Copies of this chain bind each other. A is one copy, B any other.
């Protein structure tokens, strides 16, 4: 019963012009809110548009103007993380909000495979978007390389070392990690370890660096474990390993709240109390932090603002404004709760 209801030919500017008895040029000017179009013409055109049911053909417009009024947001994450990471969603929404205000369309592209990578690279070159925001790029991310190569205006959320010259917006992961670790130390802990994660990304490696800063001479690399993902599972495995290595551990900095949550569960099962026997702190101030018992002391990062700021920057770039500073750092805030 195949009845592929043929879509009717769409009305064009030409049809509108004919209907309104004016030229295409006049219609185009009116559509773009340009000056020099008489009231009588405007009125006739409006009527004609309604009558023939005209809508702009963006493909044609893009071709003529060489821009699309759309911005890509590129997420490069394995499945599980995309679903779990609370920051990505918030960044997405922040970016969307800001672009929406400027009447730009956010187009979210997901890289889930190598095939996606190459297809998206072609998409970006294809003129579908005027710029891009890249979330959670790894070091030496092929898509990042592609973008710099294409010369597409782009802003990174985060600051991969492999793309030092690209505009970015981020937080001071290292400083924040240092500060929260110091808070932990201030509660009198003597044997403090870290469950690190995502060392292939700047956020992960910087948090470890900050931990190291805070520990100073007391840094003991045997009390550091690392995992690829910021996940609860990483916390579970990490905490188990740490307990094996140091039975007397009394403090843990987890690279994210999800990691901390996993670690806390293991501690509880091992019969240890938090914060009595072991103090623990996290990072992100996500839902996880409030769901823990006791609630988690952590670092709040303004994920939605990161998105907004990235959007603002990419809009500037698209409009030919080279930002004065290559990157912008947004402030974080320490949230002290009951876990340490």
Chain A positions within 8 Å of B, measured between CB atoms, are: 1-5, 7-8, 55-63, 68, 70, 79, 82-84, 86, 89-90, 92-93, 96-97, 100, 103, 105-110, 112-113, 115-116, 119-120, 122-123, 125-128, 151, 287, 320-322, 324
A110–B83 CB distance below 8 A: no
- A127 CB contacts on chain B under 8 angstroms: 57-59
Whether A63 touches B55, Cβ cut-off 8 Å, given contacts A1-B322, A112-B97, A115-B100, is no
Q: What is the bound-complex CA distance between A109 and B113, given in angstroms? A: 21
Query: Chain B residue with minimal CB distance to A288?
Result: B291
Whether A151 touches B59, Cβ cut-off 8 Å, given contacts A92-B110, A115-B100, is no
Known: A57-B126, A59-B59. 19 other contacts (CB 8 A): A1-B324, A4-B322, A56-B122, A56-B125, A58-B128, A59-B62, A59-B127, A60-B63, A79-B93, A83-B93, A93-B110, A96-B110, A96-B112, A97-B113, A103-B119, A105-B119, A105-B123, A107-B108, A108-B110
Q: What is the bound-complex CA distance between A89 and B4, given in angstroms? A: 31
Q: What is the bound-complex CA distance between A57 and B70, given in angstroms? A: 16
B96–A126 CB distance below 8 A: no
- A4 CB contacts on chain B under 8 angstroms: 320-322
Could you pull out 23 A-B pairs where Cβ atoms are within 8 angstroms? A2-B320, A2-B321, A2-B322, A4-B320, A57-B126, A58-B123, A58-B128, A59-B59, A59-B63, A59-B128, A60-B63, A61-B126, A63-B63, A70-B123, A82-B89, A92-B110, A93-B110, A96-B110, A100-B112, A100-B113, A100-B115, A100-B116, A107-B107
Contact of A89 among B2, B62, B83, B113 (CB under 8 A): B83
B96–A120 CB distance below 8 A: no
- A56 CB contacts on chain B under 8 angstroms: 122, 125-126
- A122 CB contacts on chain B under 8 angstroms: 55-56
A326 to chain B, nearest CB (A): 11
A310 to chain B, nearest CB (A): 15
Q: What is the bound-complex CA distance between A59 and B123, given in angstroms? A: 10
A50 to chain B, nearest CB (A): 14
Q: What is the bound-complex CA distance between A5 and B317, given in angstroms? A: 10
- A93 CB contacts on chain B under 8 angstroms: 79, 82-83, 110, 112
